[in-house]
Structure formats: C-alpha cells, structure tokens
C-alpha cells in the first residue's frame, strides 16, 4: 500500500466509524425544525438566529449545523464577517418535515427503531434471528406485531411506507405494461400508495388492497379517499384467509419480510387464486446476482436481519420461488431504487 492509498484507507475508516450518527443528525435537525426554518426563511441565517428561532442553545446548534454542512445537508456562505447557513437541495426536497417529498419517517425509522436493534447486531448474526424481542418487554419476534401494538406505532409505520412511494411509485408501476391486468390486488398493500398510482396510470384498472384488518381500517380512515370507488379493501391474513381473485397481484416490499418457505407458501396461494393469463408483480430491492451490490440492498439485508425473518434476495432466488409456486415467463426490470419482477400464470 502506498502513502496515498493508506491516507485514503484511513479517511474511510474515520468517516465510517461515525456513520451511525448520520441518521441521528438528519433526524435531529429535522425534528428541531432546522430544514423547515431555512426552507421557509428564503435566505441563509446565522447559527445564533437559527438557535433563537428554534429555542435551542446557540452552542449546541452551531455543532449540529456544522455537522450538517459536513454531510452536505446544509451549505455555508460568508457575508459581512458572518457565517450563514442554508439548505442544500437534498434538505429542501427530502429532509424538512414540510418538504414536498419528505422522507422524515424513513429517517425516524433508521435513527430510532433500527438504531435500537442495531445494538444487538452481533446477537442477530449469531442467532440468525430478529432482535425485536430484546427491546423493552416485547416477546414477539414478529415485526408487525411489535410495530402494530399501538395505534401510534401502526400509523407511524404506515406513514413510513407511504412516503417512499412519493418518489418511486411511477417508475415501478411503469416498468411493465400493466394495462391488460384490469383487476389488481395489492397484497400487503398497506396505505394504498401503489393502488392510487396504479389507477391513475391505468384507467381501466380497479385495485383491492389486501392487508391485516387493523391496517385496512387505518388505511380507509387516514390514507385513501372514500370518494375513490376504484379502490376496495379486504382485511385478512394472507397466509390463512381466502385470497381475492385477480388478474395481477402486486407484492411490494413484502416478501423481503419473510423466510424462504413463507415466500413460496404465499406465492403458491396467489398462483391458485390468480385468473388464467394473470400474473404477479414483485417489487423489491434486488441484490446483484454476484452479490456485489447495490449497497442499499446489502444494507437493507442487514436491517431485515435485525427486524424480520426475511432478507433481500438475488434475481435467481426470486426465480426459484416463482417457479416453485407455478409462475412462468419471469421477467425482471431494474428501475433504480426498487426492481420489478413479473411472473405469469
Ligand atoms: C413492508 S410492508 C409493505 C407495504 C406496501 N406493500 C409498500 O410497499 O409500501 C408489508 C405489508 O404486509 C402486511 N402484512 C404482513 N403480514 C401480513 C399478513 N399475514 N396478512 C396480510 N398482510 C400482511 C403488513 O401489514 C404491511 O402492510
């Protein structure tokens, strides 16, 4: 290793050593209102003004703002002998609670829920088991039971699921032409974010959201307009209860929550209920076949280890499931953050 390579390796070491603080920094600045204040003030502000307006100590606020500059959530300029802080595009778009495409609940999930469980990462690797049961008095290893124990937990989880689709629903549902699947069932459809996009992209489609009864009730109350007659709800357990007949089943970010045998069990149930000529659309972060990336899928694989019995998978792993369940003509499209895999009956 030459001196430049060693300097680079050391830089990586020190950066990564503190990387666990990144979601904490983003969430803290978002929660305290830094990004919203700077977005709404339309001009950069000094750290003293920001602290004053947000009711914090100037000493602490300056440290937080400097860290945000380091990670390029904020930018600084010098004017009249003063340092002025302003949002970067990233903060304006995604980090403010009132940003148009805010990812606030995603930050909160990483900085609080995942962060707590990450204290037990070594246990998770040793046991190959989620660590939810180690936190507080929760005895369940079922992620959903843990999250849905309270109304506020359920609502927060649903907001987390919902906000991501402000960014990606269009590309994912345009990956394949779905116009010849008029009757769609979004299995584990949660807030109906994909259902809404589906009916707006495909004017002849109707969508049933199939999810656990408490999710369906909350979805009806808080997320889907009652005026929307092309979306219907079906509460039940997709491992036990009858699956509504459909031309297309969407399974988005759901298989990655479950162990292999459960995935095959669910896909087999969908295949049985599927109309002839219909299909299933899987939406997931898919690992490269040689497992070299993408980083988001590799990291999420670890997050899934901490919180569920599932994982992120390669295209051939999904192919094995789909074949075992009876689906054929499998096609995969990379769409950026999430990939789409279509199998036909
Ligand atoms: C990770 S979320 C994905 C939500 C949504 N598909 C999306 O991409 O935003 C998985 C969904 O599956 C639902 N789910 C989990 N187990 C279920 C079961 N046994 N029966 C029905 N729905 C279930 C959860 O309530 C949740 O809405």
What pLDDT, in 10s, does the model give residues 227-276? 789 999 999 999 999 999 999 999 999 999 999 999 999 999 999 999 99
- Residue from 147, 177, 117 nearest 302 by CA: 117
pLDDT reported for residue 140: 61
Ligand 1 near 30 CB (within 6 A): no
Q: Which of 141, 224, 254 to mutate to test the pocket of ligand 1 (most atoms within 8 A of CB)?
A: 254
Average pLDDT of the chain is: 94
Which of 147, 189, 211, 310 has the most ligand 1 atoms within 8 A of CB, as the residue to mutate? 211
Nearest residue by C-alpha to atom 12 in ligand 1: 188
284 lines ligand 1 (CB under 6 A): no
What local confidence, expressed as pLDDT, does residue 149 receive?
A: 82
Tokens standing for residue 283: 């939406």
Q: What is the pLDDT of residue 258?
A: 95
**Residue range 63-78: mean pLDDT, rounded:** 98
Q: Which of 12-16, 126-130, 309-313 has the highest mean pLDDT?
A: 309-313
> Is the CB of residue 219 below 6 angstroms from any atom belonging to ligand 1?
no
Alpha carbon of 131 to ligand 1 centroid (Å): 19
Does any ligand 1 atom lie closer than 6 A to the CB of residue 142?
no
Question: How would CATH label the architecture of 107-344?
Answer: 3-Layer(aba) Sandwich (3.40)
Ligand 1 atom nearest 186 alpha carbon? 6
List the structure tokens of 61: 């606020």
Domains of the chain, residue spans: 3-102, 107-344
**Overall average pLDDT of the 333-338 stretch:** 92
pLDDT one-digit tens code per residue, 159-201 = 999 999 999 999 999 999 999 999 999 999 999 999 999 999 9
Residue 137 pLDDT:
55
C-alpha neighbours within 13 Å on the C-beta side of residue 46: 11
Q: In a mutational test of the pocket of ligand 1, which residue from 171, 188, 312 has the highest number of ligand atoms less than 8 Å from its CB?
A: 188
Among protein residues, the one whose CA lies closest to atom 10 of ligand 1: 254
Rounded distance from Cα 124 to ligand 1 centre (Å): 23
Q: How much is the average pLDDT of 121-129?
A: 94
pLDDT band at 148 (very low <50, low <70, confident <90, very high): confident
Residue 150: pLDDT band by 50, 70, 90 thresholds?
Answer: confident
Residue 123, φ and ψ in degrees, nearest 5: -60, -40
| 91 touches 38 (CB < 8 A) | yes
- pLDDT for 336: 87
Ligand 1 atom showing the smallest separation from residue 240 Cα: 19
6 alpha carbon – ligand 1 mean position (Å): 46
Categorize the per-residue pLDDT at 144 as very low, low, confident or very high, splitting at 50, 70 and 90. Answer: confident
Mean pLDDT (whole number) for 267-291: 97
**pLDDT given at position 40:** 97
Residues marked as catalytic: 256
Is the minimum distance from the CB of 185 to ligand 1 under 6 angstroms? no
Give the position of tokens 């901490």.
306
Q: Does the CA dihedral 325-213-106-175 come out positive or negative? A: positive
Instruction: Provide the phi-psi class of 142: left if phi over 0, else alpha when psi is between -120 and 50, else beta.
Output: beta
Tell me, in angstroms, the distance from the centre of ligand 1 to residue 191's CA: 10
Question: Is residue 133 scored above 80 in pLDDT?
Answer: no
| Antiparallel, parallel or unpaired: β 246-252 and 206-211 | unpaired
Predicted pLDDT at 138: 57
* CATH code for the domain defined by 3-102: 1.10.10.10
Compute the distance between CA of residue 273 and CA of residue 246 in angstroms, rounded to an integer: 7
């Amino acid at each position: 290793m030459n001196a430049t390579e060693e300097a680079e390796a050391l830089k990586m070491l020190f950066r990564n050593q503190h990387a666990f603080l990144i979601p904490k920094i983003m969430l803290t600045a978002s929660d305290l209102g830094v990004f919203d204040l700077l977005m709404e003030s339309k001009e950069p502000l000094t750290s003293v003004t920001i602290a004053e307006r947000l009711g914090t100590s100037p000493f602490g606020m300056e440290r937080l703002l400097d860290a945000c500059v380091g990670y390029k959530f904020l930018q600084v300029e010098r004017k009249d002998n003063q340092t002025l802080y302003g949002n970067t595009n990233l903060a304006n778009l995604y980090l403010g609670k009132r940003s148009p495409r805010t990812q606030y609940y995603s930050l909160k999930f990483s900085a609080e829920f995942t962060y707590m469980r990450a204290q037990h990462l070594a246990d998770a690797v040793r046991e190959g088991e989620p660590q939810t049961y180690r936190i507080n008095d929760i005895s369940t290893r079922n992620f959903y039971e843990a999250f849905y124990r309270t109304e506020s937990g359920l609502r927060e989880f649903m907001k987390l699921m919902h906000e991501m689709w402000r960014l990606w629903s269009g590309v994912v549902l345009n990956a394949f032409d779905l116009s010849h699947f008029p009757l769609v069932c979004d299995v584990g459809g949660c807030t109906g974010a994909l259902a809404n996009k589906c009916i707006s992209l495909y004017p002849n489609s109707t969508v049933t959201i199939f999810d656990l009864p408490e999710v369906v009730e909350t979805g009806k109350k808080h997320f889907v307009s009652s005026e929307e007659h092309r979306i219907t709800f079906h509460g039940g357990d997709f491992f036990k209860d009858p699956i509504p007949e459909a031309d297309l089943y969407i399974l988005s970010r759901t298989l990655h929550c479950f162990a292999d045998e459960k995935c095959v069990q669910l896909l087999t149930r969908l295949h049985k209920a599927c109309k002839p000529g219909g299909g299933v659309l899987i939406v997931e972060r898919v690992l490269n076949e040689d497992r070299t990336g993408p980083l988001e899928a590799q990291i999420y694989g670890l997050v899934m280890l901490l919180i569920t019995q599932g994982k992120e998978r390669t295209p051939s792993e999904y192919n094995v499931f789909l074949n075992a369940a009876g689906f054929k003509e499998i096609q995969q499209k990379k769409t950026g953050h999430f990939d789409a895999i279509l199998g036909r009956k």
